Amino acid sequence: MNLNSFFSSLPKKTLALTHAGADVDAIASAGALYFLFKNKISIGVPEHLNLNAKQLAEKMQIPFELNPDLHKFDALILLDFNSSSQIGKLAFQLKNFSGKIALIDHHTSGNEVLAVKSMSLIDSKAVSTTELIYRLIKSQKKSISKEIATLLAAGIYTDSAGFYASNKNTFTIFSDLMNKSDKSFPELISLISTETDFSEKIAKLKAAKRLKIFKSGEFLLVSTNVGSFQANAAATLLRLGADAAFAGDVEKGLLLISGRANHFLLNQGFDLAKHVFEPLQTHFNGNGGGHAGAAAFNGKARAIEPVLQKCIELTHEFIHKKDKKASLKEYE
C-alpha cells in the first residue's frame, strides 16, 4: 500500500486529523481533502483551533469534530505534524490505532515514526502542508475546485508568514491557486484575518500617544501609561522602533506593568525578568517575573509614574554596565 493507492480507494471511515490548536495550514489541508473526496472524509481536531483557523472553517463551511474517538475510524490521515506530542490526549489512542495511517507534513521529521514510509509524504522544504496536498492532487491528475484552491492558497500564505519564508515554487503554485480560486488577494486574506478588538486598538493608540522616550547609549527605551492590554501595547511599541518598552497602570491601588525587549538588547545579555522586574520587588510592593524578552510585574502602588521611571532606570543600569559612556536622557 502506498499513498497513491490509499487515496485512490479510501477506506470507508477515514479521519483527517490535525495537530492540537489547529492553525490555518492544518485545517485548510483537512478541508481540501474533505472537498476533494466529496465529503467522504471526516475531520478531527484535538483540543481547539486557533482564531484564524476557526474563522476559515466557518467561512468555508468545513465541518470538524473536536477530540474525536480515533477507534471509530478505519484509517487516519495525519496532517501538519509528525510527533504524537502534537495531538495532546489523543496521542495514546494514536499509539494503539490498528488501521491504516497516512501522514502529510512539512516539519522536520524527528525520531518518531507515525506512518510507514510508503504512506508518508514528508518534505521540510515545502512551505506548508497545503503545498504537499497540491503536489498530491497534481500527481493524481485530479482537478482543483474553487474551494480547494482557496484553502491551499490560504495555507501557503499563512505558513510562509505572508511569503516571507517562500521560494520561487511558492509563487508559481500560489499563482495557479489564485487563478483557480476565483478570488482576489484581499478576499483570500479576509477569510483568515480576524479583527483586532476595538478596545485593544484604542489601548495601543493611547499607549503611543502617552509615550515617554529615553535614550540610553545606543538604545531607545520607552514607557507609557495605559489602562488595559498592557502586554500588547508594549509589543506594539517595539514594532514602532523601541528597543525596550514598558506599559503599565495603577487602578484602585493595583499595579500592573508589562515589558518587552527586542533581540538587540537580548543579544547584549539583557533579561527583563532578571534585570528589571525582579529588582523592582526591592523598590515596590509586588511580584515580577517572566522571560528575557517578555515579562510583567503585579503589585500595589499609589501612582504609575515612579514605577515606570524605575523600570527605565533599571534597564539603563544594565546598559551602563556594558557601556560606561552610556547616559540616560529623555526626549521631550
Q: What does the binding site for Mn ion look like in residue numbers (CB under 5 A)?
A: 25, 80, 129, 159
Q: Min. distance of Cβ 24 from Mn ion in angstroms? A: 8
Q: Which C-beta is closer to Mn ion: that of 80 or that of 271?
A: 80
Q: Min. distance of Cβ 64 from Mn ion in angstroms? A: 17
Given a contact cutoff of 8 angstroms between Cβ atoms, the answer to whether 57 and 147 are in contact is no
Q: Min. distance of Cβ 159 from Mn ion in angstroms? A: 4
Q: Min. distance of Cβ 234 from Mn ion in angstroms? A: 29
Given a contact cutoff of 8 angstroms between Cβ atoms, the answer to whether 101 and 75 are in contact is yes
Given a contact cutoff of 8 angstroms between Cβ atoms, the answer to whether 120 and 103 are in contact is yes
Residue nearest to Mn ion (CB): 25
Q: How many CB atoms lie within 10 A of CB 199?
A: 11
Tell me which residue has cell 485548510.
28
Q: Min. distance of Cβ 53 from Mn ion in angstroms? A: 11
Q: How many CB atoms lie within 10 A of CB 251?
A: 10
Q: What is the DSSP letter of 274?
A: I
As given in the structure block, the three cell numbers for residue 150 are: 482557496
Q: Which C-beta is closer to Mn ion: that of 25 or that of 278?
A: 25
Q: Min. distance of Cβ 81 from Mn ion in angstroms? A: 8
Spatial CA neighbour of 304 closest among 245, 272, 236, 257: 257
Q: Which C-beta is closer to Mn ion: that of 25 or that of 243?
A: 25
Buried b (16+ CB within 10 A) or exposed e, 49-61: beebbbbbbeebe
Q: Which C-beta is closer to Mn ion: that of 51 or that of 240?
A: 51
**Taking every pair of C-alpha atoms in the chain, what is the biggest distance, in angstroms?**
73
Q: Min. distance of Cβ 180 from Mn ion in angstroms? A: 21
Strand order in the sheet with 212-216: 285-290, 294-300, 254-261, 244-251, 219-225, 212-216, 328-331
Helix axes 185-192, 146-159, angle to 10 degrees: 70
Q: Which C-beta is closer to Mn ion: that of 23 or that of 147?
A: 23
Measured in whole angstroms, the distance separating CA 197 from the mean position of its chain's CA atoms is 18
Given a contact cutoff of 8 angstroms between Cβ atoms, the answer to whether 86 and 19 are in contact is yes
Q: Which C-beta is closer to Mn ion: that of 80 or that of 147?
A: 80
How far is 243 from 221, CA to CA, in rounded Å?
Answer: 6
Q: Which C-beta is closer to Mn ion: that of 56 or that of 233?
A: 56
